[in-house]
Amino acid sequence: MPSRHVITTRTGPSRKTRPIQPAPESDPVLEFLRLMWAVDHELHRVSKAMIGRLGLTAPQRLAVRFVGRQPGLTPGQLAELLHLDPGTVSGIVNRLEGSGLVSRVRSEGDTRRMHLTLTGKGRTLNRRRTGTVEAAVRRTLDGLSSADLAAASRVLRQLAVNLAAESEV
């Protein structure tokens, strides 16, 4: 018997949970895609809610987390970590800098190169753990065995590789 998964959906001003039931007689590929769309929808929904709570979207929050963990990252390195186009990351960094969360410091060896660091305000926000996409992911991962986590990571990595290859066809 397939397991039941529960998601939160927004209907009007209230939130309710409802189980995600497997599609009847579903192809495993279609079922996997359907679950990925549910995750994508919830990522966007929580990201929008984070704007009200933290003043940041999920990608901005992830950028703050990476800069906090690796002070001195260049915008190009951040783009690689986030799997985003450098132009997109430039916009994220501009918004974070404008909000007083990140500062750019010129490289001593190459004045064209900038390094990112968190400001005091950014470090405070970096410590926040509740009300974020990260909190939901952490709760999910905490419930997995190390073998399940390793398997899920392998699936996601391979899917990313295959999607990248498919986009080049």
Q: What is the pLDDT of residues 112-169, one digit of tens each?
A: 889 999 999 999 999 988 889 999 999 999 999 999 999 999 999 999 999 999 988 7
Q: What is the pLDDT of residues 48-101, one digit of tens each?
A: 999 999 999 999 999 999 999 999 999 999 999 999 999 999 999 999 999 999
Q: Is pTM beyond 0.85 here?
A: no
83: left (phi over 0), alpha (psi -120 to 50) or beta: left
50: closest CA among 40, 38, 58? 58
**Domain boundaries, given as residue ranges, for the chain:** 46-128, 130-169
| Per-residue pLDDT at 111 | 79
- Could you tell me which CATH class the domain 46-128 is placed in? mainly alpha
Q: What is the pLDDT of residues 29-40, one digit of tens each?
A: 999 999 999 999
